[in-house]
Amino acid sequence: MSSESKKIKIGLEVHCQLTSLKTKLFCNSPSDYREKPPNTNICPVCIGTPGSLPVLNRNALNYATMVASSLNFEIMSHMIFFRKNYFYPDMSKNFQITQYDRAGGVPFAINGYILLNDGRKIRLGRMQLEEDPAKISYDGTIESSSETYVDYNRAGIALIEIVTEPDLESPSDAREFLNKLSSILEHLNVLDLGLEGSVRCDANISHRGGKRVEIKNISSFKEVERALNFEMTRQKSLASKGISVSQETRHWDDVRRITISLRLKEEEQDYRYFPETDLVPVTLSETFIEKINHDMPELPKEREIRFQQEYNHSSEIARVLVKDKYLADYSEKAAKESIAPREVGILLAVNLPPFLNEIGKDLKSLDVAPEHFAELADMISKGEVSRRSAKTIFLEMLKTGQKPRNIFDKKGLDVISDSKSIEDIVTKIFKDNPEAVKDAAKDTKAINFLLGKIMQETQGRVDPSIATKLVKQKLSVQ
Amino acid sequence: MTARILDIPVWEVVKKIANQEISSEDYISETLERIQKIDPKINAYITVIKEASLDKALELDKQIRQGKTVGRLAGLPIAIKDSICVKNIKNTCGSRMLENFVAPYNATVADKIIREDGIIIGKTNLDEFAMGTSTEHSYFGATRNPWDSSKVPGGSSGGSAASIASFEAALALGSDTGGSIRSPASFCSVVGLKPTYGAVSRYGLVSYSNSLEQIGPIARDVRSTAILMDCINGHDIRDSTSKNTVPQRFADIFKNTVKNLKIGVPNEFFGEGVQKEVHKSIWNVIHKIEKLGFHYEKTTLPLVKYALPAYYIIAMSEASSNLARYDGLRYGFNVLKNNLNWNTTFSKNRRNGFGDEVRQRIMLGTYTLSAGYFDQYYLKAQKIRTLIKQDFDRAFKKFDILVVPSMPILPFALGEKLNDPLSLYMCDINTVPANLAGIPSISIPCGLSSGLPIGVQIMAPPFREDLLFKAGYLFEENVTIDKSVGEFTNV
Ligand SMILES: [Zn+2]
């Protein structure tokens, strides 16, 4: 890590919807609000109809306990909910039911952490459970729109808020942290990260000792690194011009990919937090927490170790595979079908990412069965295809979704292994390139040119060591 | 002949309807006629449900004739405070803000009444959002006391209590945040019970101060009050604060008369604000009971003197948040729909939709919750609340019930205290302790002074409503009240 980036301090406030819950946090409206016509996924409770009362979704407690436990949090055994009072159209009651760490309140959990690959501990100050506000939209921008549209379909969805200490030292740290967090949450099966708006993030960033800038409403984890990079560059460039950074809140515009000043930090808004007495205090017994821990699904860290033992993956490969639950599940399916699971790991962890980067897609959107990866790995390990042919097949398989063996048969990509055929090819190349042969006789480095020609001729189906041996033999004879 | 059916105790009427001695149709018709005749002078109702009530009565009579089993409230006209939702009926809360708000669902208590074949005959007037002690702060005009229409009926459930006192309903529901059932019960000389916090579901009751209030029954006598309480109490999954216990049953507790009652009379409830007529009347009934062999002892609840300020701080704090939802966006009063930003729209709607008393309480509550004041007001009030609870716990180790005046004064004239909110707030001095402690409390008529009613208040430990009914019945049996002196209290 460069000394430059060490001057940066980054903290994140992450909001995750518990999308796997069937219903909202305090009523029976479905959690699945997406794609529904506006204001159809609602009930008296979540639109704050007079006389309605919230009732806590007990499953949300189970999920929150799982999350807190797997992020090494200390879970509070006794907690109450609070009202955060503010007037805004996105809150049907003009207050949000949340948790609070003052005025006799405690968050859901405190003092958690996530370890980065290099062993650095990113401290998680607190985690709390709260309700999601409604969605507000405008015709165009806030300024130009004559109307404010409010859709309460999302209002009341269960959210967990996780707040880090400013322990992250670079935008790439933030990315690594969020990857680890995502993978844990996905392994817990408490939310689907693929759903639009299921995770949101606020970030704060400062040069060590400098003023803190908050970036609000970053709408996906992928955007976080971009927003932070932009902001880091902006702050550095200000600093280089001798302009001091002001403490302010900025908004991430993910279309223009810039941060925009929202407001300079004035007085903190007074939310008049006080206890929500429509809900009764929550007690989480030790037995309850033990049971949750006992029934906990396998987490990425455990899976990484098992992958090394069970499929003979290197620790590097295993780490890459568990970074994303979909990839981990996929690789496991493929590995189970293959006699060479280690090869499967290499294909998926080493060869696949550059291809995906290039075409700008993810594994999910490719129409390739895990069994195809298994088949290709088997062909490689049996020596049926050369590495170079394997790559051709691999790319073809990813593009067309065809079975590796079909591609292999169609293209005639089997290895040329009988020495008579190879000798014939070498003879032909010598005949076609007399000048090169002369050069090679004088300078052994020039042999590579002839080898290249042979590979070209055979589409790489010749074992390079056999070809080299034959070329050298032939040169010595001449 | 027909006029007399309204005069029969309601707990007997329900039996007579079930065995066809009286038809529900007659009883409902009589009641509707009575409403039509006298309610313009009393203004107990905001909404009267005529046709549907008669239809339901006819239907029930038919079912009874066919020998079908009917519910425990079959055929009775029941009035419900207009802050408790009844599906497809307006639920105004006495406010311009909700003038046209039609409830989209039934409160749990309304469901229970309907399930027991009770007939919801109308929605009754109240101080706006239940904030008041006189039912003068209603957008729909003040309710008048049936004993003397120049006097207030008490409040905030003044419409419910007045409807009972004037025979415009058989039974009624009110809600009690700091005395809103007991105050009008006392002023109108009827029985009103504030149940233990958590005994009756609040689902569908529009919140004023949610940690203090309960829905409770109002009737002309103790046994009839018990019938309604019998039907509405019990756990409700839709109200997390409702106690998860088996519903209490009260209908049969009057078979055996009560033998032993350890009665405490706490000094703090007889302070200088209590009028001498009230003093006299309460002691009169205590001495009568004593003569029957029940001993009483004077006692003290020292922290109760802080109850009133603690109550108002908590109630206003919660109100400021509970009433935040009324911004005109989703329902309710909306002054202008277009061309204003939401902030201005909210402000205009709230300024014009709420009355003065409501706005005052919202502002005071906002203040007591604000940073810098939260600790010295809200938190301190909560501490006092805990101490008051402990005071009661101690008292109930020694006594079964505590007996005090319900209201410190006699019903006062309309308008008399409108410009003196402090003296109006002082009226709640004897009723708020039970709300802070969450204990049940009942007001029973105990006498008249110059033709104006006085009520005695009995308090018991949590979930001992049975003691209140038994003791209340005993008190009731030993008090005679001449209804003929009232303006509208004689059928
Ligand atoms: Zn809902």
B346 touches A at CB < 8 Å? yes
**Do A51 and B238 lie within an 8 Å CB cutoff?**
no
pLDDT given at position B1 = 42
> Is A56 in the same domain as A158?
yes
Q: Is the pLDDT of residue B144 over 60?
A: yes
Name the pairing type of β-strands A274-275 and A82-85. antiparallel
Distances (CA, A) of B67 to A218, B60, B76: 68, 11, 18
* Residue B299, phi then psi, degrees to nearest 5: -145, -175
Q: Is the pLDDT of residue A199 over 60?
A: yes
Q: Is the pLDDT of residue B3 over 60?
A: no
> Is A374 in the same domain as A406?
yes
Q: Which residues in chain B are contacts of A89 at CB distance < 8 A?
A: 327, 329, 342
pLDDT given at position A122 = 97
Most confident region among A240-254, A373-387, B276-290 by mean pLDDT: B276-290
> Is A193 in the same domain as A231?
yes
C-alpha A146 – ligand 1 centre gap (Å) = 28
* Percent over 70 (pLDDT), chain A: 95
Q: Which residues in chain A are contacts of B240 at CB distance < 8 A?
A: 53-56, 278-280
The answer to the question of residue B191 being in a domain is: yes
> Looking at residues A355-362, what average pLDDT do you find?
85
Active site residue B156: yes
pLDDT given at position A209 = 67
> Is A285 in the same domain as A262?
yes
> Looking at residues B242-269, what average pLDDT do you find?
89
CATH at B231:
3.90.1300.10
Select which of B24, B156, B224, B317 is catalytic.
Answer: B156
Instruction: List the single residue in B238, B329, B343 with the smallest CB-CB distance to A55.
Output: B238
> Of B187, B152, B144, B186, which is closest to residue B168 (Cα–Cα)?
B144
Which structural domain range is residue B82 located in?
Answer: 4-259
| Chain A residue whose CA is closest to B109 | A51
Write down which residue in A390, A411, A432 finishes a domain.
Answer: A411
> Is A261 in the same domain as A308?
no
C-alpha A158 – ligand 1 centre gap (Å) = 11
C-alpha A156 – ligand 1 centre gap (Å) = 7
Q: pLDDT category, A1, cuts 50, 70, 90?
A: very low
C-alpha A43 – ligand 1 centre gap (Å) = 4
- Tell me the nearest-neighbour CA distance from B379 into chain A, angstroms: 8
> Is A316 in the same domain as A209?
no
More confident residue, B293 or A437: B293
> Is A382 in the same domain as A436?
no
C-alpha B466 – ligand 1 centre gap (Å) = 37
* Percent over 70 (pLDDT), chain B: 99
Distance (Å, whole) CA B19 – CA B13: 10
**Do A103 and B210 lie within an 8 Å CB cutoff?**
no
CA B373 to chain centre: 32
Rg of chain A, C-alpha, whole Å: 29
User: Is the Cα torsion angle A253, A254, A256, A257 positive or negative in sign?
Assistant: positive
Mean pLDDT of chain A: 88
Q: Worst-scoring range by mean pLDDT, A267-276, B185-194, B308-317? A: A267-276
Q: pLDDT category, A386, cuts 50, 70, 90?
A: confident
pLDDT given at position A4 = 46
Tokens of A270: 């007074």
The A-side interface with B (CB below 8 A) comprises 44, 47-56, 83, 85, 87-89, 92-95, 103-104, 146, 148, 150, 270, 272, 274, 277-280
Window 222-251 of B: residues touching A by CB (8 A cutoff) are 237-241
Distance (Å, whole) CA B132 – CA B127: 5
Q: Is the pLDDT of residue B102 over 80?
A: yes
B367 touches A at CB < 8 Å? no
Distances (CA, A) of B50 to A58, A272, B56, B173: 43, 45, 10, 18
pLDDT given at position A478 = 67
Q: Worst-scoring range by mean pLDDT, A434-443, B180-189, B346-355? A: A434-443
Q: Which residues in chain A are contacts of B104 at CB distance < 8 A?
A: 44, 49
Write down which residue in A292, A308, A324 finishes a domain.
Answer: A292
The answer to the question of residue B73 being in a domain is: yes
CA B385 to chain centre: 22
- According to DSSP, residue A74 is labeled E
> Looking at residues A195-200, what average pLDDT do you find?
91
- Tell me the nearest-neighbour CA distance from A91 into chain B, angstroms: 8
Distances (CA, A) of B12 to A60, B18, B22: 50, 10, 10
Q: Is the pLDDT of residue A410 over 90?
A: no
The answer to the question of residue B385 being in a domain is: no
Select which of B23, B29, B53, B81 is catalytic.
Answer: B81
Q: Number of folded domains in chain A?
A: 3
Q: Is the pLDDT of residue A385 over 60?
A: yes
Q: Is the pLDDT of residue A200 over 50?
A: yes
B334 touches A at CB < 8 Å? no
Mean pLDDT of chain B: 95
Q: How many CB atoms lie within 10 A of CB A279?
A: 19
**Do A83 and B321 lie within an 8 Å CB cutoff?**
yes
DSSP one-letter string for A228-250: HHHHHHHHHHHHHTTPPPPPEEE
Distance (Å, whole) CA A438 – CA A78: 87
> Of B431, B79, B441, which is closest to residue B273 (Cα–Cα)?
B431
Q: Number of folded domains in chain B?
A: 1
Instruction: List the single residue in A51, A55, A277 with the smallest CB-CB distance to B204.
Output: A51
- The 3 state secondary structure assigned to chain B is CHHHHHHCCHHHHHHHHHCCCCCHHHHHHHHHHHHHHHHHHHCCEEEECCHHHHHHHHHHHHHHHCCCCCCCCCCCEEEEECCECCCCCECCCCCHHHCCCECCCCCHHHHHHHHCCCEEEEEECCCHHHCCCCCCCCCCCCCCECCECCECCCCCCHHHHHHHHCCCCCEEEEEECCCCCHHHHHHCCCEEEECCCCCECCCCECCCCCCCCEEEEEECCHHHHHHHHHHHECCCCCCCCCCCCCCCCCCCCCCCCCCCCCEEEEHHHHCCCCCHHHHHHHHHHHHHHHHCCCCEEEECCHHHHHHHHHHHHHHHHHHHHHHHHCCCCCCCCCCCCCCCCHHHHHHHHHHHHCCHHHHHHHHHHHHHHCCCCCHHHHHHHHHHHHHHHHHHHHHHHHCCEEEEECCCCCCCECCCCCCCHHHHHHCCCCCHHHHHHCCCEEEEEEEEECCEEEEEEEECCCCCHHHHHHHHHHHHHCCCCCHHHCCCCCC
Q: Is the pLDDT of residue A363 over 70?
A: yes
Q: Worst-scoring range by mean pLDDT, A123-127, A133-137, B37-41, B457-461? A: A133-137
Tokens of B474: 């005993």
Distance (Å, whole) CA A130 – CA A271: 15
Q: Which residues in chain A are contacts of B369 at CB distance < 8 A?
A: 85, 272, 274
Q: pLDDT category, B337, cuts 50, 70, 90?
A: low
DSSP one-letter string for A285-312: -HHHHHHHHHTPPPPHHHHHHHHHHHH-
Q: Is the pLDDT of residue A454 over 90?
A: no
> Is A181 in the same domain as A312?
no
pLDDT, tens only, B370-409: 988 999 999 999 999 999 999 999 999 999 999 999 999 9
Select which of B24, B180, B201, B320 is catalytic.
Answer: B180
pLDDT given at position A208 = 63
**Residue from B369, B370, B382, B386 to probe the interface with A (highest A Cβ count within 10 Å):** B369
Distance (Å, whole) CA A278 – CA A80: 10
C-alpha B348 – ligand 1 centre gap (Å) = 28
Q: How many CB atoms lie within 10 A of CB A9?
A: 18
Tokens of A149: 């549209």
Which structural domain range is residue A357 located in?
Answer: 298-411
Window 391-450 of B: residues touching A by CB (8 A cutoff) are none
CB of A339 closer than 8 Å to CB of A333: no
Q: pLDDT category, A391, cuts 50, 70, 90?
A: confident
- Tell me the nearest-neighbour CA distance from A13 into chain B, angstroms: 24
Distance (Å, whole) CA B430 – CA B305: 10
> Is A158 in the same domain as A250?
yes
| Chain B residue whose CA is closest to A148 | B342
C-alpha A54 – ligand 1 centre gap (Å) = 9
pLDDT given at position B258 = 84
B374 touches A at CB < 8 Å? yes
> Looking at residues A344-351, what average pLDDT do you find?
92
pLDDT, tens only, A12-36: 999 999 999 999 999 999 999 999 9
pLDDT given at position A67 = 97
- Tell me the nearest-neighbour CA distance from B137 into chain A, angstroms: 19
pLDDT, tens only, A284-293: 999 999 999 9
Window 104-123 of B: residues touching A by CB (8 A cutoff) are 104-105, 107
| Chain A residue whose CA is closest to B380 | A103
Q: pLDDT category, A266, cuts 50, 70, 90?
A: low
Distance (Å, whole) CA A300 – CA A278: 38
The answer to the question of residue B165 being in a domain is: yes
Distance (Å, whole) CA B357 – CA B365: 12
The answer to the question of residue B334 being in a domain is: no
The answer to the question of residue B361 being in a domain is: no
**Residue from B111, B210, B214, B325 to probe the interface with A (highest A Cβ count within 10 Å):** B325
Q: Worst-scoring range by mean pLDDT, A463-467, B172-176, B182-186, B283-287? A: A463-467
Q: Which residues in chain A are contacts of B325 at CB distance < 8 A?
A: 48, 50, 92-94
> Is A314 in the same domain as A280?
no
CB of B249 closer than 8 Å to CB of B230: yes
Q: Is the pLDDT of residue A263 over 60?
A: yes
Tokens of B321: 């948040």
* Percent over 90 (pLDDT), chain A: 56
Window 167-206 of B: residues touching A by CB (8 A cutoff) are 202-206
Q: Which residues in chain A are contacts of B101 at CB distance < 8 A?
A: 50
Q: Which residues in chain B are contacts of A277 at CB distance < 8 A?
A: 210-211, 241, 318
Tokens of B314: 């908590």
C-alpha A55 – ligand 1 centre gap (Å) = 10
C-alpha B369 – ligand 1 centre gap (Å) = 28
> Is A312 in the same domain as A286?
no
pLDDT given at position A5 = 45
pLDDT given at position B372 = 86
The answer to the question of residue B440 being in a domain is: no
Write down which residue in A361, A378, A411 finishes a domain.
Answer: A411
**Residue from B97, B102, B240 to probe the interface with A (highest A Cβ count within 10 Å):** B240
> Is A206 in the same domain as A233?
yes
Q: Is the pLDDT of residue A145 over 80?
A: no
Name the pairing type of β-strands B191-194 and B171-176. unpaired
> Looking at residues A54-80, what average pLDDT do you find?
96
C-alpha B19 – ligand 1 centre gap (Å) = 44
The answer to the question of residue B302 being in a domain is: no
Q: Is the pLDDT of residue B338 over 70?
A: no
> Looking at residues A55-64, what average pLDDT do you find?
97
**Do B321 and A51 lie within an 8 Å CB cutoff?**
no
